[in-house]
Structure 1
Amino acid sequence: MHVNPKQRRRHSAAFKAEVLAACAQPGAAVAAVALAFKLNDNLVHQWRRGRGAPKASSVAAMGASEAPPRFIELTVPTTVSLTPAAPASPPGVMSEMIALEFKRGALGVSVTWPVSAAADCAAWLREVLR
């Protein structure tokens, strides 16, 4: 007696788009989303990389035609306290700065941060990359 192996499931473009939208939510873990949809997380990772993902035309037909994220420059206010012993630097001369540039998905971020506030920069970066 021969038992047929379980057949592969075929997922619609709408289902794939729903799973990918759930993965795109802030703080969403791919493994948790896959578990919620009763999928293998490796399959969801493949969809996120574009293999087997719904075509742009089918996503637009489903009404999910959003403009792609664009670069937004942020200015972070800094407070500088100068002690009488530390002379102010001449205008136009930058003090030592931390420069960060990274890309996360379609979002590109470029940040400059004073070295004197490196701990604050590290805390902010941990939150952003979480």
Structure 2
Amino acid sequence: MDRAVPGRRRRIHSDEFKEQAVQASQQPGVSMAAVAMAHGINANLLRRWVRERAQQRGDAVAANDKPVGFIALPMQVPSVPPAPSGEPIRIEVRRGATIIAVTWPAGAADACAAWMRELLR
């Protein structure tokens, strides 16, 4: 924020000021927005300066965007519990004077649930 040209609203910042702001934004754990506010500039302007400096240096990525490697972790495949073949599902529905009793195979519990949803609509 070195000087303003008369008749213009844009500020002209020195290369030293830009470099200082860019260097401050590249420190680990530092927010670019916080650095921009501390220097009295817009965060988007600081991001542009960082991008321009990276392009000038020929960096493929910005200095704080370090490539992350892939780490393969072993995973255990959860075992599927065996289908219950024991007791059947028994349902008794009462609506007024009407009583419906249904016995459904336990292995077809999904179909039983779908049937119940339709019945209770």
TM-score by length of 2: 0.44
Question: Rg larger in 1 or in 2?
Answer: 2
TM-score by length of 1: 0.41
